[in-house]
Structure 1
Amino acid sequence: MTTTLTTRTVSYPADGLTMVGHLALPAGTGRRPAILLGPEGPGLNDVQRRRADALAELGYVALAFDINGGRWFTDPQEMLARALPLLADPDRMRDIGHAALDVLRAEPRTDPDRVAGIGYGTGGAILLELGRAGVDLKAIGTINALTTGRPGEAAHIRCPVWAGVGSEDPIMPAVQRDAFAAEMQAAGVDWRLTVYGGAEHAFHHPTVEHAVRPGVAYHPRHAERSWRDILALLAECVPVTD
């Protein structure tokens, strides 16, 4: 399905900041399944806005949410100073996720019973924390976000979880993959993990390069494959039926 979309900027409070999200709406007036889309640590930029637009073209209501109060960090150290304390605090991540989810569910075009989340890096970690908090999502898909939660809380996840990661990602190495898999399996989650051979961290993002940080590089072939895998997850769990 291909539709004509409309977009608008949405501002809302979270984590003591004014977040600036990007909402993309499909053509028509009826309610549609909705996708909460989380960005990686540097913040929300045009790559994720275009992904939200692509989802709207397929018939979804899509909100690319903000995590840094409208900022995109170009300095890796500045980004880590923001992201690392956030990733260490599940309650802060949940607050950011809940604030964005409230905006998405308040949109009249959203079918509140058909909401899924996809996220990259920090944004993916936020979506996993929403799942661990028991939020009613129909699917969670993440790239480069194999974060583990507080003991026992993964049992609250109520939907299928798909995760993708590069085999050569030094930030999400094999030991982290194993820990994530063990957490999901012990909790009885319907989970899948796809490892993309030869890909490094942020392999999905066309503007990254090794100069940003060793082990970070774009992999166009796997970027396309991972997007198809995400769309397959959404088609399975929150299909657009009209």
Structure 2
Amino acid sequence: MRTITTRTVAYPADGLTMIGHLALPAGADRRPAVLLGPEGMGPSDVERRRADALAELGYVALAFDLHGGRYLDDPEEMLARCMPLLADPERMRDIGHAALDVLRAEPRTDPDRIAAVGYGTGGAVGLELGRDGADLRAIATINALTTGRPGEAARIRCPVWAGVGSQDPIMPPAQRDAFTAEMQAAGVDWRLVVYGGALHAFHHPTVDHAVRPGVGYHPRQARRAWRDVVDLLAECLPVTGEPVSP
């Protein structure tokens, strides 16, 4: 395991003080970077571990916040905040750009080599950054096949990879079709992977059916989805050379 360093970062967005988790690879040189978006509950140890794992691969990684440092484990409270957010592209973009600015300002970040990876609401934020023309090298979204305002997908400047569970009732086949039709019409370089037997939030170990019907963890497909994300980053945002020890 490569030595990494981590720290929390506070920054303003959406009228709140957001608390992000920044993970840095060994060395002092500039590295490609990943903006990591959480499920609707907000960042948890799951996202922080993913940011750490990306740093071990040589990326600067920022797991960004959605709710001002809070983790909304009450489903009703989470939906009450996330549903209006998901219906407001400008708010999502503001949250995404605020975190992206923090990541770009990190001295270890190569500002010309950044990708966005997001889950659920965090994935929707990444897509809205793309639709807003943000300079990203790749966008990966799981459980967030959200469509945007007419014509704005043409502003996406990078490949888009999307993953979804075959049994996800929140992102059913009709939603998949609408998303892929939007990407295709806009001329985006897109891919969609449907993971057989998986429900919504299948990638998140702490989720089960008690949270909401149609939501559940699928360990095997979660591992596959993570490998697919890492492969996308290796293709679009390769880490060249080994990290240099301080």
TM-score by structure 1 length? 0.99
Mapping of residues 187-226 of structure 1, within 5 Å: 187-226=186-225
**Which amino acid in structure 1 is aligned with residue 92 of structure 2?**
M
Equivalence for 2:182: 183
**Residue by residue, what CA displacement relative to the aligned partner does 1:27-60 show, whole Å, maximum 9, x if unpaired?**
0000000000000100011000000000000000
Question: Shift of the alpha carbon at 1:79?
Answer: 0.2
In the alignment, the residues of structure 2 paired with residue 74 and residue 36 of structure 1 have an alpha-carbon distance, to the nearest angstrom, of 23
In the alignment, the residues of structure 2 paired with residue 191 and residue 91 of structure 1 have an alpha-carbon distance, to the nearest angstrom, of 23
Equivalence for 2:26: 27
**Residue by residue, what CA displacement relative to the aligned partner does 1:74-111 show, whole Å, maximum 9, x if unpaired?**
11010000000000000000000000000000000000
Larger RCO (CA under 8 A, 6+ residues apart) = 2
Structure 2: 5+ residue stretches without partners: 242-246
Equivalence for 1:169: 168
Question: Shift of the alpha carbon at 1:12?
Answer: 0.2
- Secondary structure (helix, strand or coil) at the match of 2:69 reads coil
Mapping of residues 1-242 of structure 1, within 5 Å: 2-242=1-241
**Residue by residue, what CA displacement relative to the aligned partner does 1:6-40 show, whole Å, maximum 9, x if unpaired?**
00000000000000000000000000000000001
**Residue by residue, what CA displacement relative to the aligned partner does 1:198-224 show, whole Å, maximum 9, x if unpaired?**
000000000110011110000000000
In the alignment, the residues of structure 1 paired with residue 86 and residue 212 of structure 2 have an alpha-carbon distance, to the nearest angstrom, of 19
In the alignment, the residues of structure 1 paired with residue 191 and residue 127 of structure 2 have an alpha-carbon distance, to the nearest angstrom, of 14
- Secondary structure (helix, strand or coil) at the match of 1:184 reads helix
In the alignment, the residues of structure 2 paired with residue 67 and residue 154 of structure 1 have an alpha-carbon distance, to the nearest angstrom, of 23
**Which amino acid in structure 1 is aligned with residue 97 of structure 2?**
H
Question: Shift of the alpha carbon at 1:68?
Answer: 0.7
Question: Shift of the alpha carbon at 1:3?
Answer: 2.1
Structure 1: 5+ residue stretches without partners: none
In the alignment, the residues of structure 2 paired with residue 179 and residue 10 of structure 1 have an alpha-carbon distance, to the nearest angstrom, of 36
**Which amino acid in structure 2 is aligned with residue 126 of structure 1?**
V
**Residue by residue, what CA displacement relative to the aligned partner does 1:88-139 show, whole Å, maximum 9, x if unpaired?**
0000000000000000000000000100010000000000000000001000
In the alignment, the residues of structure 1 paired with residue 104 and residue 180 of structure 2 have an alpha-carbon distance, to the nearest angstrom, of 30
**Which amino acid in structure 2 is aligned with residue 61 of structure 1?**
V
Equivalence for 2:244: none
Question: Shift of the alpha carbon at 1:62?
Answer: 0.2
**Which amino acid in structure 2 is aligned with residue 178 of structure 1?**
D
In the alignment, the residues of structure 2 paired with residue 91 and residue 213 of structure 1 have an alpha-carbon distance, to the nearest angstrom, of 27
- Secondary structure (helix, strand or coil) at the match of 1:117 reads strand
TM-score by structure 2 length? 0.97
- Secondary structure (helix, strand or coil) at the match of 2:208 reads coil
Query: After the TM superposition, which segments of 4 or more aligned residues of structure 1 sit over 2 Å from their partners?
Result: none
**Residue by residue, what CA displacement relative to the aligned partner does 1:173-206 show, whole Å, maximum 9, x if unpaired?**
0000000000000000000000001000000000
